[in-house]
Amino acid sequence: MRPLEPILMAVSTGAAARTPDRVSVQRALAREALRECAQRCGAPADGWEKDENDVPQPRAGYHWSISHKRRWVAAVVAERPVGIDIEQIVPRNEAMFEALAGEDEWTTLGERSWHAFFRLWTAKEATLKANGKGIEDFSKCRLVEVPDQETVRLIHNHREWMVQHFFHDEHVAAVTCVSSDVRWRVLDGRATLRARRLALRGSGSLIGRLHGHVADVRSEGRSRT
């Protein structure tokens, strides 16, 4: 079985700023990460569509999922239904603990912390995405086992799902998988010309900003090497 190779891609400092076009830039970068995933596993590079309910549709026998936040985006392509999610680990409203899971699930997880919260949140999000569902189904997706610090098992609609986590730069990413052979890839500075064209094509002001974001990311990537 081919190993799963989800990708995390950095959003440049400029693109991560709270500007009107930042979400469009993040979506474009998530699509670029998706293209990278597709190329690595031999899937078509383009043509990944969603239905009227915003659910990703399979293409040429491959399934896909993306997620984007202010500083990082994530993508995955697989030969089976798959879901991915990424979140920054930051404190939120304490009431969210009760909304996310029952007492038995927190006992299974072993702690109530924001680290644990976002581990469970991303696991449920990834599982629901693999099933074409949204967060309204959180209560139907339940944690049943925590084999180790990177893996959890959940039940949704009477089916068991394994999810693997990856912690990076104050974020946690989660992807559904069928084995422990998951090879996470972290790519810095991959905001290419293609990503620029994907973000609000035809908007001169946005394209100009994206040129700057690309330069920012490339600079950041060089500074970390």
Q: What does pLDDT average to in each consecutive run of 10 residues of the chain (225 residues)?
A: 92 69 88 94 95 96 97 96 98 95 96 97 98 91 96 96 98 95 83 48 48 41 36
* Exposed / middle / buried, residue 42 (Cβ in 10 Å: 0-12, 13-18, 19+): exposed
Question: What are the pLDDT digits (tens) for 7-21?
Answer: 999 987 665 666 668
For residue 16, what pLDDT is reported? 62
Question: What are the pLDDT digits (tens) for 72-101?
Answer: 999 999 999 999 999 999 999 999 999 999
Domain boundaries for CATH 3.90.470.20 within the chain: 91-177
Query: What are the backbone dihedrals phi and psi of residue 212, each rounded to the nearest 5 degrees, phi first?
Result: -70, -40
For residue 135, what pLDDT is reported? 87
For residue 15, what pLDDT is reported? 59
Q: In angstroms, rounded to a whole number, what is the distance separating the alpha carbons of residues 97 and 116?
A: 10
Query: What are the backbone dihedrals phi and psi of residue 28, each rounded to the nearest 5 degrees, phi first?
Result: -65, -40
For residue 74, what pLDDT is reported? 98
Q: Which amino acid makes up residue 198?
A: L
CATH of domain 91-177: 3.90.470.20
Task: Give this prediction's pTM.
Answer: 0.84
Q: Beta partners for 83? A: none
For residue 116, what pLDDT is reported? 97
The token pair that represents 164 in the structure block? 């693997």
